[in-house]
Amino acid sequence: MRMQVSSRKTFITRRIIKGKEECNRWLDDYSRSFYSYIKHVERGKLDRRAIASGSIVIRLQLKIIEEFHLYMAKSLPGSTISIGGEEKKKIMNELQMSSLKEGFRTSYSLQGTEDASKWNECMNPLMFAIVHQCWINDEISLKKWFETCDSGR
């Protein structure tokens, strides 16, 4: 069902989808569509801003990725993914200070700071799938890809 708005009146048109191929094509188009609206009241902001939000199909794919990263990040000591506000700033500051205290010793610290509910919906979910495959699949490893690039020089 599609809604069309003209300058004089609003009317709804019904579209019948026939066959599997046409249904798949329609679903692909729907999954790539975005909704836009103006966000009026936002904490700490005076001006309104435009928001683009993905369709339910693309949001479902992003939800899977969000859950995976939330699970991974909870095991990191400096993770602030499920925390917000002043507590998040405090944890980030403490992690930075502890890294500075280590001095020039060989040390590293891990920190996950992305927001658990706001992955960029404008990005293609296939890109996320490729990145995750590079992380967890040895046959598609970026390390191997870089090694083959270096050996070609």
Domains in the chain: how many in total?
Answer: 2
Q: Do 59 and 69 fall into the same domain?
A: yes
Q: Do 79 and 138 fall into the same domain?
A: no
- Give the 3-state secondary structure of the chain: CEEEECCCCEEEECCCCCCHHHHHHHHHHHHCCEEEEEECCECCECCCEEEEEECHHHHHHHHHHHHHHHHHHCCCCCCCCCCCHHHHHHHHHHHHHHHHHCCCCCCCCCCCCCCCCCCCCCCCHHHHHHHHHHHHCHHHCHHHHHHHHHHCC
The per-residue pLDDT for 48 is 74
Q: Do 12 and 85 fall into the same domain?
A: yes
The per-residue pLDDT for 134 is 77
- Tokens 């500051």 belong to residue: 93
The per-residue pLDDT for 51 is 74
Q: Do 66 and 91 fall into the same domain?
A: yes
State the residue range of the domain holding 131: 123-153
The per-residue pLDDT for 117 is 47
The per-residue pLDDT for 150 is 62
Q: Each residue's pLDDT tens digit in the chain (153 positions)?
A: 555 555 666 666 777 888 999 988 888 887 777 777 777 766 666 777 777 777 777 777 777 777 777 777 777 666 666 666 677 677 767 776 665 566 555 555 555 555 544 555 566 667 777 777 777 777 776 666 667 666 655
Q: Do 33 and 98 fall into the same domain?
A: yes
The per-residue pLDDT for 116 is 46
Threshold 0.75, pTM exceeds: no
Q: Do 117 and 127 fall into the same domain?
A: no
Q: Do 56 and 77 fall into the same domain?
A: yes
